[in-house]
Structure 1
Amino acid sequence: MKYVRKWTFWFAAASICIGLNKYVGNDESNILLIGLNPILHAIAYTEPLRHWIFDYANVPHPEYSASVGVRFPAYALHFLSFVLMGALIDAAIRRIRRRAGGGMESG
């Protein structure tokens, strides 16, 4: 159960929950999946990656931007970015513990 104490685990679990929430239809306007993820939000509106993330071909009404669905790469990028953020936090915590403990790591 050592992995439960890691930020990477909790960020990955949160990402899976957010992805499942979007997949079942509870996040139609992509606020949780894209809006609250700073990495995905930054790249979602750049032109080369825009069509990888959003599914513009199956939009019933193009004038409503909230009805634009997302493709599988959006879920994968969301998961990978959350794992990366968790790993960075874990690495920072490990580094702080090493400096404070004189080389002793308790994790």
Structure 2
Amino acid sequence: MESPVAKAPGSFISARRKPKILPMNDGIERKPLPDFASDEDAEDFVDYADLSDYDLSDFKTMRFCFAPSEETVTLRLPAPLLAALKAKADSTGLSYDRLVEQALSAALQD
């Protein structure tokens, strides 16, 4: 039986299999991505660059959730766990509730 979470409209949890990401071991030397001074510079680069020329091996798969959260959950956590969660969230640039949402989503993936 499929998880009801995977069927929820607007859900970012997908019942589909993860796509295979093939390693870049074709013997072609790729250029490192340049550093960008702004988001606008990065957008301009992506609009015109052939990304197959660049080394993307350090990239990680990201999930984006465009559906708004509709439910509120109250969770009691030990203070050290909450502090560690907030520190981890700060280091990744996420809010700690979004980090919890991602962890729960990952835990429910097959």
TM-score by length of 1: 0.28
Answer with 1 or 2: which has the greater Rg. Answer: 2
